[in-house]
């Protein structure tokens, strides 16, 4: 790694030894576990969170790229450290349900903070990563968009900049929403988008924000898979943000499309779902993905070529439904 980049990462992340995302995530995991008053343990068949020991996309940056990346890194890692501080400051309150007025206040605050879409989910134990604990059993789940034009350029430095920017912005929202919920009298602990103790795309699906695509990412009506997910853990109940989109058609669309599977540079996306080591079904191979990911600006090719990145969601849905009815004037799905 570039010596300057190494020094910057150590300074911003508060790391004494070698810069290592795994170590930073493990520190955050320990803080979340310590803050938990009613922790949720993983299921026997929970997945293991992918290791990031093979490197970092930051390792390939040149001297001219570092100054452009630095502000994004400061915001991302700064908000990550702020999330840990918020967890340490947590003093549990008596749990209580949300009422209609509270739901309106929280929804308005999320929009004000810049959340793209948001929902509420009960966290199932199989969504908690192996050897981790979720600090509460419920979560406010929200997304922050990434520019689809930048994602179409993947893999590229432009794409990496946009991803890091989204991480930082979503992290700030999680921290501010946490403080807001506490002021309303509810227990809240931020779950930063950079790394979680739960499967964020799965939680987004359970919150009604979208469907899981073939690339393992959440596909939503607003940005397809061009988004980042963050959560705020809580024991609040009764938080329903209203009617949800019907995403039931998306899995069939992805099965018929398969474009991300065909163009993945390292074959990290499976043509058919298969069982992983935990016994859960998966469509992705993180061990194949991450080495290339680290050496090519965080890759994101599967995001850039996705029809949901290239075309607006309503148009794709209309084309797909017309195709099911035998209307061949609009091909479905685009490849």
Instruction: Give, for all 335 residues of the chain, the pLDDT tens digit.
Output: 556 666 666 665 566 666 667 888 888 999 999 998 889 999 999 999 988 776 777 777 888 898 898 888 889 989 999 999 999 999 899 988 999 999 999 999 999 999 999 999 999 999 999 999 999 999 999 999 999 999 999 999 999 999 999 999 999 999 999 999 999 999 999 999 987 899 999 999 999 999 999 999 999 999 999 999 999 999 999 888 878 899 999 999 999 999 999 999 999 999 999 988 888 889 999 889 999 998 999 999 999 999 999 999 999 999 998 887 555 444 444 44
Alpha-carbon distance of 95 to 41, in angstroms, equals 19
Q: What is the pLDDT of residue 335?
A: 41
Q: What is the pLDDT of residue 6?
A: 63
> Are the CB atoms for 331 and 319 separated by under 8 Å?
yes
| Packing angle of the helix pair 157-183, 66-88 (nearest 10 deg) | 20
Q: What is the pLDDT of residue 168?
A: 95
Q: What is the pLDDT of residue 191?
A: 97
Q: What is the pLDDT of residue 281?
A: 87
115-to-89, 187, 213, 309 alpha-carbon distances in Å: 24, 20, 21, 19
Alpha-carbon distance of 143 to 260, in angstroms, equals 22
183-to-31, 109, 186, 219 alpha-carbon distances in Å: 21, 12, 7, 32
What dihedral do alpha carbons 22, 27, 31, 33 form, nearest 10°? 50
**Residue 205 CA neighbour count, 13 Å, CB half:** 19
Q: What's the whole-model pTM score?
A: 0.92
> Are the CB atoms for 126 and 45 separated by under 8 Å?
yes
Range list of β-strands (E), 146-226: 189-191, 211-212, 218-219
Q: Which long-range contacts (CB under 8 A, 24 or more apart) does 145-151 make?
A: 145/116, 145/222, 145/223, 145/226, 145/227, 146/223, 146/226, 146/227, 146/228, 146/303, 147/226, 148/223, 148/224, 148/226, 148/309, 148/310, 151/226, 151/300, 151/303, 151/304, 151/309
No. of helices (H) and no. of strands (E), the chain: 13, 8
Enclosing domain of residue 2 = 1-335
* Nearest CA-CA partner of 163 in 317, 2, 293, 17: 293
DSSP codes of every residue in 206-251: HTTS-EE-TTSSEEBTTTBT-EEEEEEEE-------------TTHH
Strand ordering across the sheet containing 138-145: 118-122, 138-145, 227-234, 189-191
DSSP codes of every residue in 77-127: HHHHHHHHHHHHT----------HHHHHHHHHHHHHHT-SSEEEEEPPGGG
Angle, alpha carbons 186-202-296 (nearest 5°) = 115
Number of domains comprising the chain: 1
């Amino acid at each position: 790694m570039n010596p300057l980049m190494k020094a910057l990462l150590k300074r911003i992340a508060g790391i004494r030894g070698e810069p290592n995302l795994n170590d930073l995530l493990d520190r955050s995991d320990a803080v979340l576990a310590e803050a938990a008053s009613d922790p949720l343990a993983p299921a026997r068949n929970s997945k293991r969170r992918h290791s990031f020991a093979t490197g970092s996309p930051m390792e390939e940056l040149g001297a001219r790229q570092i100054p452009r990346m630095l502000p994004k890194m400061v915001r991302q890692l700064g908000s990550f450290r702020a999330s840990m501080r918020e967890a340490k400051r947590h003093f549990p309150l008596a749990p209580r349900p949300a009422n209609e007025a509270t739901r309106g206040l929280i929804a308005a605050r999320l929009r004000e903070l810049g959340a793209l879409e948001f929902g509420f989910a009960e966290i199932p134990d199989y969504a908690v990563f192996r050897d981790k604990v979720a600090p509460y059993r419920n979560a406010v789940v929200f997304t922050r968009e990434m520019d689809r034009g930048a994602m179409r350029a993947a893999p590229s430095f432009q794409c990496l900049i946009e991803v890091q920017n989204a991480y930082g912005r979503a992290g700030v929202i999680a921290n501010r929403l946490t403080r807001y919920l506490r002021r309303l009298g509810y227990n809240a602990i931020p779950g930063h988008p950079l790394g979680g103790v739960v499967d964020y795309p799965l939680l987004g699906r359970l919150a009604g924000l979208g469907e899981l695509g073939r690339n393992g990412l959440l596909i939503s009506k607003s940005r397809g898979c061009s988004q980042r997910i963050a959560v705020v853990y809580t024991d609040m109940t009764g938080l329903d943000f209203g009617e949800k989109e019907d995403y039931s058609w998306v899995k069939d669309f992805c099965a018929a499309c398969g474009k991300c599977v065909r163009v993945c540079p390292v074959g990290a996306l499976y043509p058919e779902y298969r069982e992983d080591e935990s016994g859960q079904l998966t469509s992705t191979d993180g061990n194949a993905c991450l080495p290339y990911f680290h050496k090519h600006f965080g890759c994101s090719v599967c995001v850039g070529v996705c029809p949901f990145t290239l075309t607006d969601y309503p148009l794709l849905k209309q084309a797909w439904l017309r195709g099911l009815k035998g209307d061949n004037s609009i091909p479905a799905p685009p490849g």
